[in-house]
Amino acid sequence: MTAPLTIAIDGPAAAGKGTLAKRLAEHYGLPYLDTGLLYRAIGKLASDAGIDLDDAAAVGPIAERLDTSHLDDGSLRGREAGELASRVAVHPQVRSALTAFQRDFAARPEGAVLDGRDIGTVICPNAQVKIFVTASAEVRARRRTDELAAKGRDVTYERILAEVRERDVRDAGRSVAPLKPAADAHLLDTSELDIETAFRAACEIIDRSAA
């Protein structure tokens, strides 16, 4: 029987980790979890149900009942869902439930690919392969600006760059699960790489590590 392959993909916003993780999951035939959608899903489910997002006792049970079907809502990637997520993420019961959810997903018999910000350090510290995907703030801001402009959003590169830098400081400085590479993670800088080149580089890392 083939041993399970768990791949942890971490990194800052707009580094390309989500696109890369999905490609890797397809390539290796593994289930994929975008952990960034979890808190957004909880926030939206609570909001849609008319629940006070600041009421930890009311929001907590929603997190405990979450399943992957709740992550298919396309609106979860919007700004509003992000704002809802920030409100529910402060509740310890929510964080505990979603940590358990992610670990259960990663423990599937065949393995899994998970991407986020604390997969290799907190969720799956024993993952067979850990990749920390990064890129310069300027490159990430340009990618994000182009993505939003393609969707018809009126944005400026300068504002997006400022937001990216603020997010980096916030993510790296938070007291719980700060954004940082695991000690045994492979660093993959995509600043000068297109998705195909980044994908091939990641496959080489995984094939060497899992051999």
What is the average per-residue pLDDT within 179-203? 95
Say whether 18 counts as a known binding-site residue: yes
The residues with which 7 forms a beta bridge, in sequence order, are 113, 129
pLDDT band at 123 (very low <50, low <70, confident <90, very high): very high
In this predicted structure, the answer to whether residue 102 has a pLDDT above a threshold of 50 is: yes
Is 1 a residue whose pLDDT tops 90? Answer: no
152 is in an annotated binding site: no
- Which two structure tokens, joined as six digits, stand for 159? 């504002």
The band of 14, judged by pLDDT with boundaries at 50, 70 and 90, is confident
Quick one: tokens of 177? 């699960």
| Contact between 28 and 113 (Cβ < 8 Å) | yes
Res. 179: pLDDT tops 90: no
What is the pLDDT averaged over residues 201-208? 96
pLDDT at 96 (0 to 100): 93
- Average pLDDT over all residues of the chain: 92
A 10 A CB-CB count for 45 gives: 19
181 labelled binding-site residue: no
162 is in an annotated binding site: no
pLDDT confidence of residue 2: 63
Residue 11 annotated in ligand binding: yes
Domains (range + CATH), the chain: 1-31+111-211 (3.40.50.300), 35-107 (no CATH)
Residue labelled with tokens 């402009």: 149
127-6-135-146 Cα dihedral, nearest 10 degrees: -150
Kindly state the average pLDDT of the residues 19-42. Answer: 95
Q: What is the pLDDT of residue 167?
A: 84
Burial class for 145, CB neighbours closer than 10 Å (0-12, 13-18, 19+): buried
Q: Is 14 annotated as a binding residue?
A: yes
Beta bridge partners of 33: 114
- Residue 11, phi-psi category: left (phi > 0), alpha (psi -120 to 50), beta (remainder): left
Give tens-digit pLDDT for 49-97: 999 999 999 999 999 999 999 998 888 988 788 889 888 988 999 999 9
Annotated binding residue 12: yes
Q: Does pLDDT of 134 surpass 80?
A: yes
The mean per-residue pLDDT over the stretch 12-39 comes to 94
